[in-house]
Amino acid sequence: MPLLVTGTIGIDTVHTPTAKAEEVSGGSCSYFAAAAAFHHKPIRIVGAVGGDWPNDHAALLESIDGLCLDGLERRSESKTFAWGGRYFDNMNQRETLFTELGVLEEAPPEVPASYSDSRFIFLANSHPSVQLDLLSKFPDRELAVADTMDLWINIARDELLTLFKEIDGLIINDAEAQQLTEISNPITAAKAIIEMGPGFVIVKKGEHGAVLVHNDAIAILPAYPLELTGVVDPTGAGDSFAGGFMGFLAASGRLDFSAMQTAMAWGTVTASFTLGSFGLDGLASTTREDLEARMFDFRRIARVN
Amino acid sequence: MPLLVTGTIGIDTVHTPTAKAEEVSGGSCSYFAAAAAFHHKPIRIVGAVGGDWPNDHAALLESIDGLCLDGLERRSESKTFAWGGRYFDNMNQRETLFTELGVLEEAPPEVPASYSDSRFIFLANSHPSVQLDLLSKFPDRELAVADTMDLWINIARDELLTLFKEIDGLIINDAEAQQLTEISNPITAAKAIIEMGPGFVIVKKGEHGAVLVHNDAIAILPAYPLELTGVVDPTGAGDSFAGGFMGFLAASGRLDFSAMQTAMAWGTVTASFTLGSFGLDGLASTTREDLEARMFDFRRIARVN
């Protein structure tokens, strides 16, 4: 069950209340792929970087076992997508300091012919028309899941609604779900989004966990409880959650509700390692054993009995 | 294992974005007792009402099986505690419109001699000196748990810290935990509060669930997922959670961490019925069968597997 992800490979600069990290390895595609690779191989990447992409970022991504980088375009005359942000005191909210689109302003990356048998597709946040175009290249897909953001809800709502007819699942955060539906309750909002097309919706609530709505069934989980010292940088946690979720599903080959519920727990636990360091370092320095040990903890901590 | 609660029996007026309910039956003691009575009998009440206490409020409380009202003082010349509040659009935040202290400005209610063998004590929110005085009447108690509020953290911090040395557990909400410790992370804040005295701390996060910290062990649960239509009035949900929690512990006779984790799930499910109606009506119209059916659902919905 080859799993393909398309999204950004970025250079992030992150300010937190106590620290600052400059030009760390980031981007939705990177976080998703590194998280998914714990669960499944290969993870196929479709993305583009510029000539300024740091060698150590390349080395980090290449060091992650299970990633296929055949679909990673290096454009020597272009600039890599770059993002800078600052987190406020509670680490739950942030402001964007700068966004340099770089390669995102150019043509989307090509999909290698060798990727055409991909069955699981994750469309990380980008313009819904770009997501739709990518999706059209995989008529035999078994599961297509997308993310989106406030910008597209505002300026490309029609294209987004067209995308919703084509995807099986949507993973968005609570603020976006409310923006899309004007409904503050995440479950009621998810049901309204399902009416727009996707078979299931996961609403991510950051430190408060996530909720899955699939037809009339609901699954809800808290986030893995981290203390203050365990939250170094929340950037990429949502993409890591999606990567753990989709990676587990691709590995299991199952798409039933029970498998999705288990996949959500793996997404939760995988994302918790992203929070522990700046950039991709948290995931890159985590072992499968670390992940399983924390899953064991999570089952005990979040047990309903 | 007799379980005793002391707190307010109040007359509430509640405005929500879509409705208004005037002079409904409320108060921390009422919510706690009605919730605890699902799990354990008897629940002994220590509280006071005035001559204006409506007959239908009395009839409602008397109709709840398992409540012992021997410690309910009726003071014909006094006024019942009354509170009015307005919830904002998302039902998570509210403002107080008025507070009429009434009997709370007078001497605390007497504890009947027949209550002296109470082993489980819940001190709902009141001045920490009043809580301390009540507690001193039960030297043989096995479990004493308290709630508090922002007002006492502000104006009676020393008395509160004295109380913390005497209680086994504290149940407070996330904003209060942060106010008390100046730590925004609920787990780190709970650990800081444990350093002040209580053996365990539960931080309530409203619609986002609750977390229990007991020595180095942590348990976390989401709230029972309710749709918009299921959230009529959040007033009393926190006290109902505490009632379900303590009621289960008193019934089981166990105080180990595993029992507390199960008790937290029962607290969560019990509180969800309070949200469904104004005042005590939600709990009063719920059967033990309703409760067990929702607990069955909750185990399935919040399963980590």
CB contact under 8 A, A304 and B219: no
Distance of CA A127 to the CA centre of its chain: 15
What's the average model confidence in pLDDT over A60-67?
Answer: 96
Contact at 8 Å (CB) between B91 and B114?
no
Question: Model's pTM, two decimal places?
Answer: 0.96
Instruction: Please check the confidence at residue B90 and state whether its pLDDT lies above 90.
Output: no
Q: What is the pLDDT of residue B118?
A: 96
Subunit contact B228:A188, Cβ cutoff 8 A: yes
- Residue type at B273 in one-letter notation: F
Residue B296 pLDDT greater than 90, yes or no: yes
The answer to whether the CB atoms of B209 and A222 lie below 8 A apart is yes
Q: Is B221 on the interface with A (CB under 8 A)?
A: yes
Give pLDDT, residue A51.
Answer: 98
Higher pLDDT, A163 or A305: A163
- Which residues in chain B are contacts of A244 at CB distance < 8 A? none
Give the confidence band of A301 by pLDDT, cuts at 50, 70, 90.
very high
Please answer whether residues B225 and A187 qualify as being in contact, where contact means their C-beta atoms are separated by less than 8 angstroms. Answer: yes
At residue B225, the 3 state secondary structure works out as coil
Q: How far apart are CA A41 and CA A79, in angstroms?
A: 29
pLDDT tens string A185-219: 999 999 999 999 999 999 999 999 999 999 889 99
Mapped onto helix, strand or coil, the DSSP state of residue B158 is helix
State the amino acid at position B46 in one-letter form. V
User: Which two structure tokens, joined as six digits, stand for B69?
Assistant: 């009202």
Q: Is the confidence at residue B89, as pLDDT, over 90?
A: no
Q: Could you give the CA distance from residue A195 to residue A202 in angstroms, rounded to a whole number?
A: 14
pLDDT, tens digit, 9 for 90 and up, residues B118-161: 999 999 999 999 999 999 999 999 999 999 999 999 999 999 99
Q: Express each pLDDT in B257-291 by its tens digit.
A: 999 999 999 999 999 999 999 999 999 999 999 99
B276 touches chain A (CB under 8 A): no
> Which candidate in B92, B229, B304, B305 is best for mutational testing of the A interface (most A CBs within 10 A)?
B304
Identify the closest residue of chain B to A298 by CA–CA distance. B304
- Predicted-complex ipTM score: 0.94
CB A232 within 8 A of CB A276: yes
* Vertex B104: Cα angle to B37 and B131 (nearest 5): 65
Beta strands in B51-175 (DSSP E): 67-75, 81-87, 94-100, 120-123, 143-146, 169-173
- Helix-strand-coil percent breakdown of chain B, rounded to 5? 40, 25, 35
| Chain B residues 172-191 with a CB less than 8 Å from chain A | 183-185, 187-188, 191
> What H or E segment, with its residue span, contains residue B55?
helix B55-63
Nearest to A291 by CA among A110, A52, A35: A35
Once rounded to an integer, what is the mean pLDDT over residues B103-117?
96
Among A32-36, B88-92, B262-266, which stretch is predicted with the lowest mean pLDDT?
Answer: B88-92
State CA B275 to chain mean position distance. Answer: 14
pLDDT at B91 over 90: no
- Report the 10 Å Cβ neighbour count for A141: 16
Residue B188 to residue A299, Cβ atoms within 8 A: no
Query: How far is it, in rounded angstroms, from Cα A285 to Cα A278?
Result: 11
Determine the Cα–Cα distance for residues A143 and A3; give it in Å rounded to an integer.
Answer: 9
Q: Which residue of A has its CA nearest to B269?
A: A304
Sign of CA dihedral B33, B37, B40, B46: positive
The DSSP code sequence of chain A is: --EEEE---EEEEEE-SS-EEEEEEE-HHHHHHHHHTTT-S-EEEEEEEETT--HHHHHHHHHSTTEEEEEEEEETTS--EEEEEEE-TTSS-EEEEEEE-GGGGSPPPPPPGGGTT--EEEE-SS-HHHHHHHHTT-TT-SEEEE---HHHHHH-HHHHHHHHHH-SEEEEEHHHHHHHHS--SHHHHHHHHHHTS-SEEEEE-GGG-EEEEETTEEEEEPPP---GGG-S--TTHHHHHHHHHHHHHHHHT--SHHHHHHHHHHHHHHHHHHTTSSTTHHHHT--HHHHHHHHHHHHHHT---
Contact A22, A16 (CB under 8 A): no
| Contact yes or no for B219 and A187 at CB 8 A | no
Measured CA to CA, the distance from residue A155 to residue A153 in angstroms comes to 6
User: Is A72 in contact with A9 (CB distance < 8 Å)?
Assistant: yes
Full DSSP string of A243-280: HHHHHHHHHHT--SHHHHHHHHHHHHHHHHHHTTSSTT
Two tokens, residue B34: 């009605």
What is the structure's pLDDT at A215?
84
Predicted pLDDT at A77? 97
Residues 6+ apart with CB under 8 A from A75: A48, A49, A50, A51, A103, A106
Question: Quick check: A185 and B227 CB within 8 A?
Answer: yes
